[in-house]
Each structure stands twice: as structure tokens, then as C-alpha cells.
């Protein structure tokens, strides 16, 4: 079945430290892949997307993600987090069925 998995429910990092949020998908081909961020009480903001081509994609707010076909992964990274990055992060995929399938989200807490 087509699915998106975010193995980490909650991650805590210190301000200034690097960050990697994991995302895996289950699909027989390469889906379109997205990362969204949801700040408390807010909507979903698109951070970045991957459709094809270069497997390292740059997004807003200093985020990047790398698509690895061999691992069916699309992990989100940031070299140095800021307190304002504390939020819920969602990985999503379009499996060619004209809708987004979301992972369960990873809550990011930043320690001063």
C-alpha cells in the first residue's frame, strides 16, 4: 500500500544544532514529495518539494531535503536550527493519485 512514514514522533534539539527529520515512503515508483511545516495554531506552509532531477532540493527558511531512491527516503535537514523552527513537520507524497498522503508528523522542540 502507498504510505508515508515519519519514524520520529518527537525530536528535541538545541538551538544552533543541526537537524535531520526522517521520511520514508512505500511505493513502486518515485512519488512527488513534499515537506510542510505547521506552527502552533497555524496552517501548513510548504517548505520544499521534489518532482524529479537533482536529488538535493533547497527550500525556504534554510531547509533542504535529499531524495534517496535506494532508501525510499526524503529526509529534511537544516544545518543550524533557530528557536522559531519549533513546530510540527509533515512529509507528504503524491503517488500519482492527485492527492497528498501525509506522514504522521514530527514535533520539533528547540532547547535554548
The cell for 19 is 537537524
CB count within 10 Å of CB 93 equals 25
Could you give the CA distance from residue 81 to residue 17 in angstroms, rounded to a whole number?
Answer: 6
CB of 110 to other proteins, least distance (A): 18
What residue ranges bind other proteins (CB under 8 A)?
32, 34, 36, 38, 42-46, 49, 51-52, 88, 90, 92, 94, 96, 98-100, 102, 104-105
Task: Give least dist CB 75 to other proteins, A.
Answer: 19
Q: Residue 111 CB, nearest distance to other proteins (Å)?
A: 22
- Asked if 87 and 105 count as a contact pair (C-beta separation under 8 A), the reply is no
C-alpha cell at 111: 532547547
The three cell numbers of residue 78 are 537544516
Task: CB nearer to other proteins: give 16 or 96.
Answer: 96
Three-state SS at 77: strand
Closest to other proteins by CB, 15 vs 32, is 32
Q: Which is nearer to other proteins, 53 or 112 (CB)?
A: 53
Whichever of 18 and 45 has its CB closer to other proteins, that residue is 45
CB of 62 to other proteins, least distance (A): 19
Contacts of 20 (CB under 8 A, 6+ apart): 75, 76, 77
Amino acid at each position: 500500500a502507498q504510505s508515508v512514514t515519519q519514524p520520529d514522533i518527537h525530536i528535541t534539539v538545541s538551538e544552533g544544532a543541526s537537524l535531520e527529520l526522517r521520511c520514508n515512503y512505500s511505493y513502486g515508483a518515485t512519488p512527488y514529495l513534499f515537506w510542510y511545516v505547521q506552527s502552533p495554531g497555524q496552517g501548513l506552509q510548504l517548505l520544499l518539494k521534489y518532482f524529479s532531477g537533482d536529488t538535493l532540493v533547497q527550500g525556504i527558511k534554510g531547509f533542504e531535503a535529499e531524495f534517496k531512491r535506494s532508501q525510499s527516503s526524503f529526509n529534511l535537514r537544516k544545518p543550524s536550527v533557530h528557536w522559531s523552527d519549533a513546530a510540527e513537520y509533515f512529509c507528504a507524497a503524491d503517488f500519482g493519485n492527485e492527492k497528498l498522503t501525509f506522514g504522521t508528523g514530527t514535533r520539533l522542540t528547540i532547547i535554548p
